[in-house]
Structure 1
Amino acid sequence: LKLSVQTVSRAYEELIRRGLISGEVGRGSFVQTQRREPEPPYIPERLGEVIDLSILKPVCEPMHLEKLKQALGWLSENLPASSALSFRPNMVFPRHRAVAVEWLKLCGLDASPQNISLTNGATAGMTVALMSVAPPGSTVATEAIGHHTLIPLARYLGFNLEGLPIDGNGLIPEALDEACRLSDIRAVFVQPSVINPTATLMDAARREQIAAVARKHDIAIIENDVLGPLVEGRPPAVAAFAPERTLYVTSFTKIVVPGLRIGYLAVPDRYVAAVANRHLVSNWMATPMVAEIATRWVNDGTALELVNWQRGALRRRQEIAAEVLTGVDYRCHRDGLHLWLELPGDRAEESFVAQARLRGVAIAPGTSFRIADTSWHPAIRISLGSTTEGELRAGLSVVAKLLLGDPEHLLLAI
């Protein structure tokens, strides 16, 4: 066929990504009879001596565990009966919602208690929001490179996902406008504040334009803003420009401590009943005892203290990355949890990820975040908070050596 090994490798990678074939070391490649379940971009569990830069998590120190232990000790002495002996959500959460109002003000939202649902983290909030605005068979627009969970969610919930063009400022408003004219778009899902894979911070003008397009076509906006107060000096939330149609999702998991798996979903009046019903059937309610800790930490300042600490820790790690990856072109934000690195043109993504893994470093393949079936540039996502500073430096050094060395194709992928 007069094709290079690199071209054939990429063809196999694309077939695997689409779930059309599977490859097994030592056995070969097999045509799939049905689509495989999508694989997460991170390794399911940390194995042996692997430096795990694949999973997106905040920096954690012994201090975080100690604060959680103290909170659990306080909870053991002050646990309300309603949080332990009841499972009627409308009896448990009114005071939690009142505190949520104050936290959402830090996120730039002016929300009413009755418009807030407490969720078991951002993923639960996303799921409920999508169930509320995107019935089976409808279409949701989002960034071409977006949230990896959206892909399986679209399949499980039965809606279509349309990935739209992006630039260095995020989702392009004109692309959304055209998609709304040509397709029956019911909602747009955006991640405007650094949490998106490309580490983009959408400016205020672009946020206002996205809101204007959504209003023009009367579609809902789902805003995933899980970094919330962590991103210093960020523009107003998209919800601030279109409060009447934005379902706003945030949580504590990525900015305070992973074990505090609780989040807030703030919605306009028109979606309150739909969100309450879908939250009831999918989660029933957020875990009350975790909600108690989050409420206490917001009240006594612990949550904001840990956010401020996290910001400083991430900035130090961004400095480490800049030092180790000198001469390497990548995207980042000083308050972000990760880097987005497009591979040189001669590098196959699956091969690069596999070569890093063979050297003891796990990184996330960019195809896990690929939503649009358009031309694709191989890329990787590198988490900065998932390990110690020493291991981060060592892992980044492995990536740098792979980038600067001669490309080595992983023949086992064929």
Structure 2
Amino acid sequence: MSESKYYEIARELEKLIDVGHYPEGSKLPTHRELAKEYSTTAVTVAKAYKLLAEQGDIESFVGRGSFVKSKSHLKQAIHSQHVENEWNFSILQPCFSHHLDALYRQLGQCVREPFSPSLFGYIEDTGCLNHKECGMKWMQHYGLQVRSPEQVLLTNGAQHALSTLIELYSKPGDCIAVEALTYPGLTSIIKALGRRAIGVEMDELGMTPSSLDSICLSENPSLVIAVPSHQNPTAITMPLQRRKEIANIVQKHTVWLLEDDLYSFLNTDVIAPISNFVPEKSFYITSLSKAISPGMRCGFVKVPQSQVQRLSSYIRTMVWHISPITFEVSARLIQSGAAFKLAESQKMIATHRQALARDILDSEILSSQNSSYHIWLTLPDEWEAHEFSMTAKERGMMVSEGHFFHYDDKAINAVRLSLMAIPEEQHLIEGLHSLKRLLDQRRTS
């Protein structure tokens, strides 16, 4: 028996766990049972189980056995690694292959020009004024009203902005109102910080004012968090009138609005953010991650004038300041206009890929905008979301199933499909046809 036999067994079990053969919480076979199945010894199986336990895949209890460990919803819903010959429909990101050359050229030009020596030291006021001015320019380009760059604070991406604001403007045990279907990164933050998410009902226009008003009256939330453009996961974009109605509810109650508007650059026409109508009760969050690169980690937050000092002090306490070198590169991309060109090229790619998806898949079960990065696909009655997700995975397709996006983990018979993470268009087309065959499998059987 080779020393690597236990490693081979561990990898095989890992695959079986991934495709749902051994679901979360299920008990694994005993050492003796598995040794017989793999024609090896119980000692070798014990080594395999030990390796899986160290990886966080299983947990073992004396006298009870070994069980599949519950994993992070975020990790299960989103698979970031690229695996050749697989189709990753799970992660929302720019289609890098179409603008990497342009981005490399821009980055090369940035670093060939000498940086100010001050960028290599500590920065006062949580960031350079020039970087805040560029953040203001980015926000204004997509419709936000900002009076002064001093109202713009810098963060390590939008996720950092959200966690900072939730931690500062609520306390453990507080209720936070979110869209009933929202992205798992947000609910992960809320749970990790000991807050309680409550879902606001949605319709075809997004978060409904009547449900938000009712929740504000009954639950007294500290914060309302909304994604008004190309909402994740439903792809809904709130029209202007609905945005005004949500602003009126926020104005009416003692609550802060966190407007997460990362996808505003995908809107066909500029739509005024909700924050324009409640400027002193809202924090507007955006970043370059979806338009240019998640790796740049450049987030911008427009802050009510009354809260600039408070939030600045908190950021300084937590991280002192955000990396000025990264923001210098971003600022030069914005100043030159290259950032807006890169964002526009991504919107064009998304529009083209949406058309491809609608041609191949059943458009009656799709929810999306013509320029969205993703699709919300309601499954036919013949399929259940978890079974569909696991079967797709067995065939090399990574999709994000519906329950991950419900604020309370409720089963939703839908999946989210990203159209941008697969670099090559022909490979994407093959993946969409494979999804179509899977969708139709039960209808024709």
Equivalent residue, structure 1, for 2:10: none
Flag the structure with more relative contact order, 1 or 2, with Cα contacts below 8 A and sequence separation at least 6: 1
**Gap change, CA 1:117 and 1:342, over 3 Å in 2:** same
- The answer on whether the counterparts of 1:132 and 1:271 sit within 8 Å (CA) in structure 2 is no
In structure 1, list runs of 5 or more residues that go unmatched.
Answer: 1-12, 409-414
- The answer on whether the counterparts of 1:221 and 1:247 sit within 8 Å (CA) in structure 2 is yes
Task: Provide the C-alpha distance between the structure 1 equivalents of 2:259 and 2:274, rounded to a whole number of angstroms.
Answer: 7
**Gap change, CA 1:202 and 1:60, over 3 Å in 2:** same
Q: Pick the aligned partner of 2:323 from 265, 277, 287.
A: 287
**Gap change, CA 1:237 and 1:62, over 3 Å in 2:** closer
Equivalent residue, structure 2, for 1:177: 213
Equivalent residue, structure 2, for 1:4: none
User: Where do residues 236-251 of structure 1 align in structure 2 (5 Å cutoff)?
Assistant: 236-251=272-287
Shift of 1:151: 1.6
Shift of 1:249: 0.4
Q: Pick the aligned partner of 2:192 from 136, 148, 156.
A: 156
Shift of 1:346: 3.0
Q: Deviations over 1:180-216 (max 9, x none)?
A: 1111211100001003200001111111111111111
Shift of 1:42: 1.4
Task: Provide the C-alpha distance between the structure 1 equivalents of 2:334 and 2:215, rounded to a whole number of angstroms.
Answer: 40
Task: Provide the C-alpha distance between the structure 2 equivalents of 1:404 and 1:354, rounded to a whole number of angstroms.
Answer: 16
**Gap change, CA 1:232 and 1:25, over 3 Å in 2:** farther
Shift of 1:89: 4.1
Which has the higher Rg, Structure 1 or Structure 2? 2
Shift of 1:60: 1.9
Q: Which amino acid aligns with 1:87?
A: Y
Q: Deviations over 1:254-310 (max 9, x none)?
A: 012333321211110232233223323444322212101111111111011111111
Q: Pick the aligned partner of 1:96 from 131, 139, 148.
A: 131
**Gap change, CA 1:60 and 1:26, over 3 Å in 2:** farther
- The answer on whether the counterparts of 1:54 and 1:363 sit within 8 Å (CA) in structure 2 is yes
Percent identity, please. Answer: 25
Equivalent residue, structure 2, for 1:55: 91
In structure 2, list runs of 5 or more residues that go unmatched.
Answer: 1-19, 35-57, 59-64
**Gap change, CA 1:24 and 1:403, over 3 Å in 2:** farther
> Are 1:203 and 2:239 counterparts?
yes
- The answer on whether the counterparts of 1:365 and 1:381 sit within 8 Å (CA) in structure 2 is yes
Structure 2 length as normaliser, TM-score? 0.81
Shift of 1:322: 0.9
Query: Which shows bigger deviation, 290-299 or 130-139?
Result: 130-139
Equivalent residue, structure 2, for 1:10: none
Task: Provide the C-alpha distance between the structure 2 equivalents of 1:113 and 1:172, rounded to a whole number of angstroms.
Answer: 32
Q: Which amino acid aligns with 2:169?
A: V
1:61 aligns to what SS in structure 2?
helix
- The answer on whether the counterparts of 1:207 and 1:237 sit within 8 Å (CA) in structure 2 is yes
Equivalent residue, structure 1, for 2:290: 254
Task: Provide the C-alpha distance between the structure 2 equivalents of 1:47 and 1:237, rounded to a whole number of angstroms.
Answer: 38
Task: Provide the C-alpha distance between the structure 1 equivalents of 2:79 and 2:394, rounded to a whole number of angstroms.
Answer: 14
- The answer on whether the counterparts of 2:406 and 2:412 sit within 8 Å (CA) in structure 1 is no
- The answer on whether the counterparts of 2:125 and 2:312 sit within 8 Å (CA) in structure 1 is no
Structure 1 length as normaliser, TM-score? 0.87
Query: Which shows bigger deviation, 287-296 or 129-138?
Result: 129-138
**Cα root mean square deviation, aligned:** 2.7
User: Where do residues 200-239 of structure 1 align in structure 2 (5 Å cutoff)?
Assistant: 200-239=236-275
1:377 aligns to what SS in structure 2?
coil
Task: Provide the C-alpha distance between the structure 1 equivalents of 2:415 and 2:307, rounded to a whole number of angstroms.
Answer: 37
Task: Provide the C-alpha distance between the structure 2 equivalents of 1:362 and 1:331, rounded to a whole number of angstroms.
Answer: 19
Report how many residues are paired.
Answer: 389
Q: Deviations over 1:286-344 (max 9, x none)?
A: 22121011111111110111111111111110111011114551101111100000112
Task: Provide the C-alpha distance between the structure 1 equivalents of 2:361 and 2:70, rounded to a whole number of angstroms.
Answer: 37
**Gap change, CA 1:189 and 1:31, over 3 Å in 2:** farther
> Are 1:378 and 2:413 counterparts?
yes
Equivalent residue, structure 2, for 1:3: none
Equivalent residue, structure 2, for 1:120: 156
Task: Provide the C-alpha distance between the structure 2 equivalents of 1:324 and 1:222, rounded to a whole number of angstroms.
Answer: 37
Q: Deviations over 1:109-129 (max 9, x none)?
A: 222211111111111111122
Task: Provide the C-alpha distance between the structure 1 equivalents of 2:28 and 2:364, rounded to a whole number of angstroms.
Answer: 32
